[in-house]
Chains A and B, each alone.
Chain A
Amino acid sequence: MKFIDEYRDVELSKKLVNRIKQLSTRPTRLMEFCGGHTVAIMRNGIRQLLPPTVEMLSGPGCPVCVTANADIDRAIALARLPDVIITTFGDMMKVPGSYSSLQQARAGEADIRIVYSTQDALQIARDNPTQSVIFVGIGFETTAPTIAASILQAEKEGIKNFCVLCLLKLCPPIMKALLDLGELKLDGIVCPGHVSTIIGSHPYEFIPRDYGIACVVSGFEPLDILLSVEMLVEQIESGKPRVEIAYRRGVKPEGNKKALELMDSVFEVDSADWRGIGVVPASGLKIRKKYERFDAEQAFSVTMEPVREAKGCICGDILRGVKTPTDCKLFRKVCFPEHPVGPCMVSSEGACAAYYQYEIV
């Protein structure tokens, strides 16, 4: 397929790996922020190809994984209300909240439907005018404009029974929060590809400037990732950290202006609760007052039990990059994709699920 196959060329990959080996002279710690990158790296065995000097850590860039227990609990509580249909991306179904998951709530007869797009959720709202359709709005900047678009479309069409539980989160602020925690000694960051399609590369400028850390925006094919690692190693070895784009076919420095405009018209920046990290100021989005009738939190009030965390689960540490899945006592023993204890094992782009599926043990 065009724009995919040419970035999987094996001979070029070998040469690129050799070049990284030649360039890399000192221990280098890189973090791939995005869960999609974690999966691509694991699936293609890239960790094993890199020289021992280059270490790669997984970051918190999986929207399902960073959704706080309290927010899962809220979605389940909403699902139990009468005449409510919950619509959600499939990955959210099995994520355990404090007491149960959306999947278990569905087995208990809550009406919960998996959708591929917010457009499907809108269609369900059109088809069920006597019921309220709530979309569980998880995601980063990649997904935020699509949710904004659905709210604008609902307004335009006068769809009154559609609203969003807005759990959207922002990448650059959480990168800053992680760096400020000081737990990680990073030399470079593989910056998210499709988040950057929307926001561009400028929002990362503070990272080399204030923290001296190299940044390269990467695509998702093996050659994209190897090219990004090569560019990061080159920056680090030359002592000149900066922001570069390796994924130029998909990312412009200024991002997608139309998408940013739609996002800004519907959402405003707010604090967000990140699993394993806590509430981080200005790291999420909430629906503006003008569109509050599409805000599920304004439209429905629910009472919830106190939040509980699963015993022994270290998803929080894994999301912060301070531990890896194999450090977890539950990994492969009691925590499996079929019976996940924490969210990193549920989501297809969670670090635990990726390690489970691809790591050679």
Chain B
Amino acid sequence: MTAASPWVKPSSPISVERKTMCLAVPVKVVSIEGNEADVEIGGVKRRVSIMLTPEAKVGDYVLLHTGYAINVIDEAEAQETLKILEEMASLDEIH
């Protein structure tokens, strides 16, 4: 993504998460200690609960919602969605 993006970027994803109720942001798990993990986003580190995602591993990205990881992001599905988007975009070029 370039700086010329017209989409408004939140100043800090963590502050966005604070302000809205059901929003969750992708953060990277850097270490795990029991039910808790240290996660990192944009250079900011935070301790969060992984009680709802016991399967989370170091290096995974999780969706963080009000201090809890609620899901381990599926990297393969993320790639697949991007592929679908690219395919749709190329369909547009054919028509």
Q: Which A residues are within 8 Å of any B CB, using their own CB?
A: 1-6, 8-12, 15-16, 18-19, 22, 34-36, 39, 43-44, 61-64, 89-91, 116-120, 138-140, 142-143, 145-146, 149, 153, 192-195, 197-198, 220, 222-223, 227, 230, 246-252, 256, 258-259, 262, 347-349
Contacts and interface: CB of A to CB of B under 8 A. Distances in A.
B45 interface: no
B74 A259 contact: no
B92 A194 contact: no
B8 A43 contact: yes
A13 to B, nearest CB: 8
23 contacts: A8-B5, A8-B7, A8-B9, A10-B6, A15-B88, A16-B92, A18-B92, A19-B89, A35-B21, A36-B23, A91-B21, A116-B66, A117-B68, A138-B21, A194-B22, A197-B71, A223-B85, A248-B80, A249-B77, A250-B24, A251-B71, A256-B53, A258-B53
Contacts of A220: 23
Contacts of B71: 197, 250-251, 256
A197 B70 contact: yes
Contacts of B42: 1
B52 interface: yes
A212 B38 CA distance: 45
A4 B13 CA distance: 10
B78 A1 contact: no
B63 interface: yes
A36 B63 CA distance: 15
B58 to A, nearest CB: 15
Interface string B47-65: 0010111100000010101
Given A2-B28, A142-B70, A143-B65, 11 more contacts: A1-B13, A12-B86, A142-B21, A142-B65, A145-B52, A146-B49, A149-B49, A194-B63, A248-B77, A258-B54, A349-B23
Given A15-B88, A248-B80, A3 B74 contact: no
A118 B22 contact: no
Contacts of B85: 9, 12, 16, 223, 227
B22 A249 contact: no
Interface in B1-55: 1, 4-9, 13, 18-26, 28, 41-42, 49, 51-54
Interface size bracket, B side: 35 or more
A280 B28 CA distance: 39
Nearest to B95: A22
A192 B21 CA distance: 12
Contacts of A19: 88-89, 91-92
A227 B54 CA distance: 31
A4 B7 CA distance: 12
A12 B92 CA distance: 10
Given A63-B22, A197-B24, A220-B23, A249 B73 contact: yes
Contacts of A246: 81
Given A1-B13, A117-B66, A35 B20 contact: yes
B70 A259 contact: yes
Contacts of A62: 21
Contacts of A5: 1
A11 B89 CA distance: 9
B88 A248 contact: no
Nearest to A116: B18
A6 B84 CA distance: 13
B63 A262 contact: no
B34 to A, nearest CB: 12
A145 B49 CA distance: 12
Nearest to B90: A15
Q: Across chains A and B, which 4 residue pairs bring their CB atoms closest together, nearest first?
A: A117-B67, A15-B89, A249-B78, A248-B77
A249 B74 contact: yes
A22 B92 contact: yes
Contacts of B7: 8, 10, 43-44, 222
Contacts of A12: 85-86, 89
A22 to B, nearest CB: 6
Contacts of B20: 35-36, 39, 91, 348-349
A227 B86 CA distance: 11
